[in-house]
Amino acid sequence: MKQAYLDTRFSTEKICKPLEVEDLVVQTCPDVSPPKWHMAHTTWFFEKFILQQYDKEYKVFESKYNYLFNSYYKTVGNHWQRVDRGKLSRPTVKRIYEYREYVDNALTNLIDRQLNEEISKLIEIGINHEQQHQELLLMDIKHILSLNIECPAYLENNMERPENTSSEGWLSIEPGTYEFGSAEENRFFYDNEGPAHKRLLSSSKVMKAFVTNGQYLDFINDGGYERPELWLSLGWDWVNQNQVSAPLYWKKTENGWKEYTLHGEVRLQKDWPVQHVSLYEADAFARWSGMRLPNEFELEFLLNSERISSQPNCLHSINKNQSYYNLWSWSSSQYQAYPGYQPYEGSLGEYNQKFMCNQFVLRGGSYATPNGHLRSTYRNFFEPWQRWMFSGLRLAMDTQ
């Protein structure tokens, strides 16, 4: 347990290591948090929910941090507003690293002194929580760096194409009743992944490969962003209000389309999977294609058909057939509780339950997802207009 905790904490700081101190304090839009905030918030989580509850000798590092670095847990007090996180120049980055070290020392001492089943479960949640923030960090870092005129690379990489690990084509689903969700007692899963239950699926087929940049470019060239009949009503409003005409990080130049990646700006590669699209865009593309988005259970069925492989070194999806877990796949399913859902006890019940409104489920994982989070039952969720996450899309169609 102690080593897993320390490894997770080290990984977070490793993600931030290539950045300059100026990069760590920037907030480029309401969805994006400064990397400094992520490092502090994940530390606050361990301090608030474990050290303050179970270590009688623990002295809080700084009482104001409960206000500054609480994200959304209303039951533990008021908090600084998300949209204003980038306004804080203090505490400094240096001070946040001191905070992390202080909490690390206290928590590892607690593990050595009085680790029990209850504390172990909370530490496990905390570890998985911080791992979620590691992907969020890369999402936010990409957005922060993309707005620089120099289009700097987060990491240098030659972006060589990996070998295929899955085939093209379609996966057929026979009509019937199937079990979905997680019920494994010996493996961590979030409360929103359970309980396991049965669902009736109709006859359908799901695309194995991701939709590519080239296919999406055909949609653009066919006036996809100018045809209201292709869009959900709210999606059409979103397109016009925000003057959206291409996926996030695409840029049209006199020399053709370019795409910003964590490895710098590159010429748009038509055979790479399209990514950073919203639910609205994914749905419009599916309608333009004469198909539909798969629901989350069709995607879980698909994900169960492939062995999970380790993630590539490249922080970009460059092969549509590389892995089912190479990008998050949008589903048509609204995010809601399974039958018999039981949220975490206490304040941690806010972790997932209260977001089950006006959000859509994505399944799979991405090249930025920690390997321990790659599982078929994992339910990611975002609002339909959001697209700074590593999202892609597959198509589905009814066969009966």
Which tens digits make up the pLDDT trace of 222-265? 999 999 999 999 999 999 999 999 999 999 999 999 999 999 99
Mean pLDDT of 388-398: 98
Mean pLDDT of 199-209: 96
Is pLDDT above 90 for 149? yes
Res 312: pLDDT: 60
Res 167: pLDDT: 56
Rounded to 5°, the CA angle 367-369-372 comes to: 125
Res 83: pLDDT: 96
Q: Please write the tens of the pLDDT for every residue from 339-367.
A: 999 988 887 878 888 888 999 999 999 99
DSSP assignment of 108-172: HHHHHHH--HHHHHHHHHHHHHHHHHHHHHHHHHHHHHHTSTT---SS----PPPPP-S-SSEEE
d(CA 193, CA 34): 29
How many C-beta atoms lie closer than 10 Å to residue 283's C-beta? Answer: 22
Contacts of 364 (CB under 8 A, 6+ apart): 299, 303, 324, 325, 326, 327, 328, 329, 374, 378
Give the β-pairing of 380-382 and 204-207: unpaired
How many C-beta atoms lie closer than 10 Å to residue 269's C-beta? Answer: 16
Is pLDDT above 60 for 166? no
Res 349: pLDDT: 77
CA distance between the termini of the chain: 50
Res 76: pLDDT: 86
Cβ 286 vs Cβ 339: under 8 Å = no
Res 1: pLDDT: 87
pLDDT category at 75 given cuts 50, 70, 90 is: confident
Q: Please write the tens of the pLDDT for every residue from 280-312.
A: 999 999 999 999 999 999 999 999 987 665 556
Which is more confidently placed, 324 or 365?
Answer: 365
Res 159: pLDDT: 67
| Cα dihedral 231/236/242/246 (nearest 10) | 20
pLDDT category at 200 given cuts 50, 70, 90 is: very high
pLDDT category at 184 given cuts 50, 70, 90 is: confident
192: DSSP letter: G
Give the β-pairing of 380-382 and 360-364: antiparallel
Contacts of 90 (CB under 8 A, 6+ apart): none
Res 13: pLDDT: 98
Mean pLDDT of 45-68: 96
Res 346: pLDDT: 86
d(CA 211, CA 234): 23
The amino acid present at 269, given as its one-letter code, is Q
Res 161: pLDDT: 58
Q: Please write the tens of the pLDDT for every residue from 120-130.
A: 999 999 999 99
Is pLDDT above 80 for 187? yes
d(CA 50, CA 236): 45
